[in-house]
Amino acid sequence: MERLKSKDLLDTDLLTKEEILLIINTAFKFKEGGIKNLPLTGEVVSLLFFEPSTRTRNSFEIAGRRLGAIVISMDTTGSSLVKGESALNTVRTLQVMGVNYFVIRHRESGFPYQIAEKVSASIINAGDGTRGHPTQALLDAMTIIEAKENIEGKKLVIVGDIIHSRVARSNIWLLKKLGADITLVGPPEFLPKDFEKFGVEISYSLDDVIKDTDILMGLRIQRERMEKMHISVEEYVKRYQINRERVKRGKPDLIVLHPGPVNVGIEMTEDILYSEISLVERQVTNGVFIRMAILSLLKETRDGSNT
Ligand code: CP
């Protein structure tokens, strides 16, 4: 396996295990060996974020620049979108200016798929609604492999607002392909039983599962959503917060991840976030290398289909 099959990176359910490992191993090469050439010289990457982002947007910008690309970042509130131009028209307009890669975050699930089939440029999904966030799942897998060497047979617990989480879905698809044994944990309002269709276990008690857990991944909780779901913040903290007391009951080599942004004091305490078992900042660092890997591998795929 030397190349990704598709011109686009839409989600982890569309990647084979070999493609996932190709991306992660390429990211490790960038991390270990630096950059020996600038494979994206002459390429243009557009960052099209219709929702806020700190990590994904800035790491794609750094990744593109490190590879030699021109990176442009459109202010979606200050463009002709506000005059009624459609998002597809915007993408096609930028494409004829020479943009080859669009990194898109949009509130609508499935939005990058609709664009991908209508343009020749590569579309990279940077988060679509509640559906998926594939580059986050890839950097999570890289970080777990770096810490634990492999994922096969490891007990992974994802705790929090599962139903609204695009990170959870992309991680389930990816980490199951790499052999993880996944349990989803959260209040029933955030964790419908039909998630079992993904081949995962479900638990409503973090305390019941913590002692066997190798990898504990927290997810972001939104207070306004909790009000709609009739769960108080206090109740959530009591039952699901990743804190010193809970972690003490886990394995000695337990690691903790979170995609960020973290609501410090809700889904995780500050002492855990900045502790030796937390890989949250390492996830952010690895995000740059995963995004470099994706851009450089998509370039190879594009070059291959042009020969
Ligand atoms: N994890 C994540 O997607 O963070 P941002 O919203 O800051 O990009």
Return the best residue to mutate from 136, 217, 268, 286 for the ligand 1 pocket (most ligand atoms within 8 A of CB): 136
Ligand 1 pocket, 143 CB below 6 A?
no
CB count, 10 Å around CB of 302? 18
The helix/strand/coil state of 160 is coil
CA distance 165 to 80: 30
Query: How does residue 272 score in pLDDT terms, banded at 50, 70 and 90?
Result: very high
Query: Which of 125, 137, 136, 124 is CA-nearest to residue 174?
Result: 137
pLDDT at 224: 62
- Mean pLDDT for the chain? 94
3-state SS track over 101-155: EEEEEECCCCHHHHHHCCCCCEEEEEEECCCECHHHHHHHHHHHHHHHCCCCCCE
The helix/strand/coil state of 267 is coil
The helix/strand/coil state of 248 is helix
pLDDT at 230: 76
Which domains does the chain possess? Answer: 12-133+285-305 (3.40.50.1370), 134-279 (3.40.50.1370)
pLDDT at 255: 98
Which CA distances in Å does 67 have to 51, 199, 230?
Answer: 25, 38, 47
Ligand 1 pocket, 278 CB below 6 A?
no
First to last CA, the chain: 18
CA distance 15 to 185: 26
CA distance 51 to 56: 11
Ligand 1 pocket, 296 CB below 6 A?
no
What is the position in ligand 1's atom list of the atom closest to the CA of 57? 8
CB 101 within 8 A of CB 122: yes
Task: Please say if the pLDDT value at position 225 is more than 80.
Answer: no
What is the position in ligand 1's atom list of the atom closest to the CA of 127? 3
The helix/strand/coil state of 252 is coil
Distance from the alpha carbon of residue 304 to the mean position of ligand 1, in angstroms: 31
Q: What is the DSSP letter of 9?
A: B
Ligand 1 pocket, 58 CB below 6 A?
no
Task: Please say if the pLDDT value at position 261 is more than 70.
Answer: yes
Say how many residues make up the chain. 307
- The mean per-residue pLDDT over the stretch 212-232 comes to 83
Task: Please say if the pLDDT value at position 305 is more than 90.
Answer: no
Which protein residue has the closest C-alpha to ligand 1 atom 1?
A: 259
CA distance 148 to 158: 17
CA distance 34 to 12: 26
Ligand 1 pocket, 56 CB below 6 A?
yes
More confident residue, 133 or 193: 133
Sole residue written with tokens 């607002």: 161
Query: How does residue 186 score in pLDDT terms, banded at 50, 70 and 90?
Result: very high
Q: Express each pLDDT in 66-109 by its tens digit.
A: 999 999 998 888 777 777 778 899 999 999 999 999 999 999 99
pLDDT at 80: 79
Q: Express each pLDDT in 37-53 by its tens digit.
A: 899 999 999 999 999 99
Return the best residue to mutate from 55, 138, 222, 281 for the ligand 1 pocket (most ligand atoms within 8 A of CB): 55
